[in-house]
Amino acid sequence: ILMQKGLVDMCLVGSDRTLYTGDVCNKIGTYLKALAAYDNTIPFYVALPSSTIDWEINNYKVIPIEERNNNELSHINGLDEAGNLKNVLIYPRESKSLNLAFDVTPSKYISGLITEKGVCKANKNEITTLLKTNLYEKVFWEFDSSANYILSALLIIFIRLLSCWALLCPHDQRR
């Protein structure tokens, strides 16, 4: 409803895996946020370290998606009448469930990718141009894990600061 009322300037999410085609695999619910942003003409950005780019898979439909234990959905811990902690089934045993850990957001819903090397559109040409500009940089980013870790940590700190600013600053003062 915040998006529908014009109270959101942009969406910023992370990524567990990003294909070189621009499609993003992230925690469940990311795709729905992207659809809502798209429907409300709100820019949708993904922040990621370049080390999470998958240069092998080119079709998001073949990304392996982790399936978690269905008990995470079907059961809940709570106290019984005697005050004992119990694990209780919350829907009928015969009900089926699918507990996926991730979903995939197609690149067409993504305004841009934010990496430690810059910002680009979520497509093969721009990602390749930004992240594989020359052989030295390619070797550096693929093999210097300590520098990559530090830059990734700085990117995460920046995202958290941006998130705090967005929460603390009144909407009309952010423009």
Cα–Cα nearest to 105, from 40, 3, 32, 47:
32
Nearest to 111 by CA among 46, 156, 166: 46
Q: Edge-to-edge strands of the sheet including 17-19?
A: 53-54, 17-19, 24-27, 102-105
**Residue 54's beta-bridge partner residues?**
19
Closest by CA to 13, choosing from 28, 2, 21, is: 28
Instruction: Please say whether the beta carbons of 112 and 24 come within 8 A.
Output: no
Token pair belonging to 58? 């080119």
Active-site annotation holder among 16, 23, 39, 172 = 16
Task: Report yes or no: 22 and 127 within 8 Å, Cβ to Cβ.
Answer: yes
Task: Establish whether 23 is a catalytic residue.
Answer: no
Would you name the residues annotated as active-site residues?
16
